[in-house]
Amino acid sequence: MSQQDRQDFYQAISQHSMTPLWEVLHALVPAKPNTPCRPALWRYSDVRPFLMQAGQLITAEEAVRRVLIMENPALRGQSAITQSLYAGLQLILPGEVAPSHRHTQSALRFVVEGHGAFTAVNGERTRMQPGDFIITPSWTWHDHGHDASAEAGEPVVWLDGLDIPMLRFFDAGFAENGSAASQPLTQAEGTSYQRFGTNMLPVRYEPPFGQTSPIFSYPYERTREALHQLEKNAPVDAWDGVKLRYINPATGGYPMPTMATFMQRLPAGFAGQPYRQTDGAVFSVVEGSGQVSIEGPGGISEFEFGPRDHFVIPSWHTTHLQSADGCVLFSFSDRPVHVALGIHKEERAS
């Protein structure tokens, strides 16, 4: 059969919405993971002025959520930092309320800057402090606010991480707006931690948020202390430094069914060994500074990072982390989905 005969055949089946597998097989089932995503760094010193300008241009109520999305350079226009994850920086100013709504997408908040803001989930409010990790479980009512006065208060910024692209793939994303800007409070602040966060559970425990952790606020103060004690008293991993994963205290599993979250400490003088993994990860620098080298099909990207900077490491990119003076990094990824599907792979080189 000639090449022209093949082309005529392809054209004929195309009219019936069909295409030959043999022409695309190697792209569909590649020899190794081949993400289109690229490594990228967002310096907070560059981004913050735009966040403050956004605060002058539109109110939190008008915007519903005043967020600047961090788009992967290879996925512009898709509101995605990797092919499965969304990330953005949200600003709330003193006296504002970001109105109540709920959605099927799971969300995390990681507080980057400022004091005085709060988030409420299903009738319970928690204060937001820098370094705190806060969950908004799927289909739970939530709103955000800042009850300080304009004169006494300060802007608060946090990292939003959501599984929006993942749910878009499944055509399962939708939302509902609340009838009031702020939901009524039905529980005292700290109730969820007292019930579920002290290595104990109510006798007749029923998960309040399905597969998501019953604790929705993980304060940085406790996490930071654990990291520093482990740095002093336990072996330091050659690839990750001192790295812990947040858990659902009722199951020991990931805090959300679609996103894993981590906090790690790179000690002073740390020069990490290279690793790569199939789950792409988004990093927020909590304290200190360092360097990251990320190697993939497009070459090597090297970034110097400091406090409140953000960077993304795409799937199956070889990564080296270094820090001369020490640093703390928060990160999140889509690892729970990889693990649940049995497709997670990791390589740690020496």
Whether residue 290 is contained in a domain is answered as: yes
Whether residue 22 is contained in a domain is answered as: no
pLDDT digits (tens, 9 = 90+) for 125-144: 999 999 999 999 999 999 99
Q: Supply the pLDDT for residue 350.
A: 83
CA 84 to chain CA centroid, nearest Å: 11
How far apart are the two ends of the chain, measured CA to CA in Å?
51
- Residue 321: helix, strand or coil by DSSP? strand
Whether residue 104 is contained in a domain is answered as: yes
Question: Percent of the chain at pLDDT above 90?
Answer: 95
CA neighbor of 346 nearest in space, from 282, 274, 298, 283: 274
Q: Supply the pLDDT for residue 12.
A: 97
CATH of the domain at 174: 2.60.120.10
Whether residue 6 is contained in a domain is answered as: no
Whether residue 12 is contained in a domain is answered as: no
pTM for the full predicted model:
0.96
Tell me how far apart the alpha carbons of residues 55 and 33 are, in angstroms, rounded to a whole number: 40
Domain range for 260 is 30-348
Q: Supply the pLDDT for residue 40.
A: 98
Count of domains for the chain: 1
CA 214 to chain CA centroid, nearest Å: 19
For the chain, 350 residues long, the average pLDDT of each consecutive 10-residue run is: 92 97 94 95 98 97 96 98 98 95 97 96 96 97 88 91 97 92 92 93 93 96 97 97 98 98 98 98 98 97 98 98 98 98 95
Residue type, 302: E
Tell me how far apart the alpha carbons of residues 86 and 227 are, in angstroms, rounded to a whole number: 27
Phi, psi of 50 (to 5 degrees): -70, -35
